[in-house]
Structure formats: structure tokens, C-alpha cells
Amino acid sequence: MRRLFSQPWHIVIVMSFICAIVVILFTRYNATFYHMPIGEVTKVSAQETQKTVDEHHNHDIHHTDQLTIQLLNTKHKGAYVVVEHKYNRSHTESQPYKKGDHLLLHLNTSTHEAHIIEKKRDTLVTAIVSFFLISLLIVGQRIGLQSIVSLLINTLAILSAIGLYHKYPQLHLFFLMSGAVVLSTTFTLLLVIGWNARTFMTTISTLLGTFICVAIAWATITLTGGQGIKYETMSFLTVQPKMIFLTSVLVGTLGAVMDVAITISSGMYEILQRTPHITMTQWLRAGQNIGKDIMGTMTNILLFSYLAGALPMLLLFLKNGNTLTYSISMNWSLEIARAITGGIGIALTVPLTILFMQLWYKWKGVLKT
């Protein structure tokens, strides 16, 4: 035990485990802190099962269960209500509930009836977030802690920009988000790299790569009139969809571009530290090789991340008799456009980062040609 607590990071990780367990247990038994009625399923009785086939020959099974629910809060705490719950096997309309599940309810005091709103998920969310944060601390230690702080700062910056736009709609969302992007990029790189010239070079190349690719996207959309991009899939009433699209491209591209810039600058810096007598030509070629190695994988990650979000709607379109081309154009046109724009940003960041690293170290006279 003494050996376990000999390292400060061991103490931090153990304390993190304890805090995570306490928070998870609290979210499991925190019903009294909710104003909305919460109930626990104590009994599930299957009432009816019916097979269905629609006009597109999609098979499904509809179930009807009778749930006995004990109320955990409000003035009716301890009382039992019986709710009829319908769901289908595909879970497109609702999901099945089992004994022990906590549910958010709507109580009708006049008719003494209850309706299920949704499942109470704060315990599950807390457990997943705790596992994620503790994993960062175990694997990364000090860097992991910096990553957590960076994540919090980035989230706060983005939410602050959205909050300002919500409170002052006359402000331009893209400019607000641009300010948030600049701040989050600067703070993130300061935390990850530290206060030095390499941070400055990486920040400049990240922001330039991001804003140049957004400018290219804006110019392309303006010149083509946005043909082929299905803005009708974005359900906005009073906000220009092009502005929302460009803002989403800005935020979505930033992470991949920053990753590329950090990887190249860190790799080139490490090479220079280990082989101080390397020539400028060899050093630049090493940076290019690093960029080539990560450029393809980062572009694929960006593409798959965007496409995965719209995959359920794409399958739903296909299951309802729509053609593959129509389904892709309606659900993946925006995602593909975002991925292509992000790929441009990644490709631009590679030479930009190498160029700034070259200019800086050449100006300092560290390397010879």
C-alpha cells in the first residue's frame, strides 16, 4: 500500500476513482433533487406482440408491455402507477424497459395517469465520462490532465459563443465562433506544448490551415450557388443555412488540422533534438514524410466521423423505398462537403507547418542548408 501511494500520480488516480464512484452513486439515487417525477420499474408484464409488414416489405414486431412503476420523488413518493408501454423491435419509436430502470415521467394528477417521457440516463453518462477521464489520467498522467483541462476550455469557449449568439441574435455566429476557435486553439497548444516558439508556429499554421479551407468552401459555395448541397436537411427557420454550414466546417475541421500541426511540429522538433547536426534539407524531408504518413489517416478519420452521424437517416431513407443516390444526396451531401473541406485543411496544414518551422529555425540560425 505504501508503494502504491509513493507516486503523486497514483494518489491522483485513486482519488479520481473514489470521486467517480461517489458521483455515479449520487446520480443513481438523486431522484429527490429532480422537480420532474421519476419512477423505478418494479415489474414488466408482456401484454401483446404483433408482427407488421409495411408497403416496402420491412418486417417489424410491435410489443405492448405493462409497467409497474414506483415513484421516487414528488409528494407522491412511494406510490405505484401502472403504465402501458408500446415499442417495436427496431426501436424506431421507443425502446423496451426492464426491471430496475429509472424513468422520467409526466403525471396527470386529475386522471391519476402517468406517461413515460424517457429513460433517466445521467448514471450511465456519468460512468462513461468518468471512465474516459480516468483513462486519460492513467495513460497520459500530466499530459492527460492537460488534455482534460484543454477539453473543458474548448467546451466552454464553444458554448460561450453559442450562448452569446442566443442572447444577442444580431451578432454574427461565424465571427463569434471564429473568436472561440482562436482562443481554444491558443489555450490548447499552450497546455500541450508550453510557452515557446514551437507553440506560436503551430498555432499560426493551425489557424491559417483552418481559415483558408473555410474560405475555399465559402468561395466554392458562392461561385456555384451551393448546387448539390441539400440545405433543406438543415431545419433552420431564421438563420441562414450557409452560415451554419460554414460555422460547422470551421469547428469540425479545427480538431483534425490541430492534430496534424502538433504531430508535424513535435516530430520535427524531436528529430532536431536527437540529431542536432541534421541538414535543413534532411529535416524538411523528414517533416514531409511525417505529413504524408498522417495526412491520409486523418482525412479518413474526418470522413468516417462525419458520415457516421448521418448513417441512421441514410438507412431509414433506403428502407422507405428511396434510391441510393437520392438517399446519399439528402443525407450525406453536407457531410461529404464538410469532409472534403476538412481534407483540404489537413493537406494545407502540412506544408504550412513545415514552412513556419523552417522559417523560424532558419531565422534563429539553428540549421544549415
Same domain, 350 and 240: yes
Same domain, 322 and 193: yes
Same domain, 325 and 224: yes
Residue 136 lies inside a defined structural domain of this protein = no
Residue 197 lies inside a defined structural domain of this protein = yes
Same domain, 188 and 257: yes
Residue 9 lies inside a defined structural domain of this protein = no
Same domain, 62 and 186: no
Last residue of a domain, one of 119, 151, 181: 119
Q: What is the CATH number of the domain that holds 223?
A: 1.20.1640
Same domain, 95 and 197: no
Last residue of a domain, one of 119, 154, 184: 119
How far apart, in whole angstroms, are the C-alpha atoms of residue 96 and residue 116? 12
Residue 285 lies inside a defined structural domain of this protein = yes
Same domain, 195 and 315: yes
Are 183 and 157 in contact, with CB atoms under 8 Å apart? yes
Nearest Cα residue to 38 out of 86, 123, 107: 107
Domain boundaries, position 219: 172-366
Q: Phi and psi dihedrals of 234, rounded to 5? A: -100, 110
Residue 233, pLDDT above cutoff 80:
no
How confident is the model over 22-56, as pLDDT tens digits?
Answer: 999 999 998 888 889 999 999 998 888 888 887 77
pLDDT of residue 159: 92
How confident is the model over 332-350, as pLDDT tens digits?
Answer: 888 888 888 888 889 989 9
How confident is the model over 64-102, as pLDDT tens digits?
Answer: 889 999 999 888 888 888 999 888 888 877 889 999 999
Residue 146 lies inside a defined structural domain of this protein = no
CA of residue 288 relative to chain centroid, distance: 29
List Cα–Cα distances, 67 to 42, 61, 83, 186, in angstroms: 8, 19, 5, 52
Indicate the residue type of 287. G
Are 350 and 263 in contact, with CB atoms under 8 Å apart? no
How far apart, in whole angstroms, are the C-alpha atoms of residue 100 and residue 123? 13
How confident is the model over 96-145, as pLDDT tens digits?
Answer: 999 999 999 988 876 678 888 999 999 999 999 999 999 988 888 888 88
How confident is the model over 249-305, as pLDDT tens digits?
Answer: 888 888 889 888 888 888 888 888 888 788 888 888 888 899 888 888 888 888 888
How far apart, in whole angstroms, are the C-alpha atoms of residue 315 and residue 366? 56
Same domain, 260 and 358: yes
List Cα–Cα distances, 77 to 40, 73, 80, 81, 83, in angstroms: 11, 5, 9, 11, 16
**How many domains does the chain fold into?**
2
Same domain, 361 and 215: yes
Rounded to the nearest 10 degrees, what angle do helices 333-364 and 280-319 cross at? Answer: 170
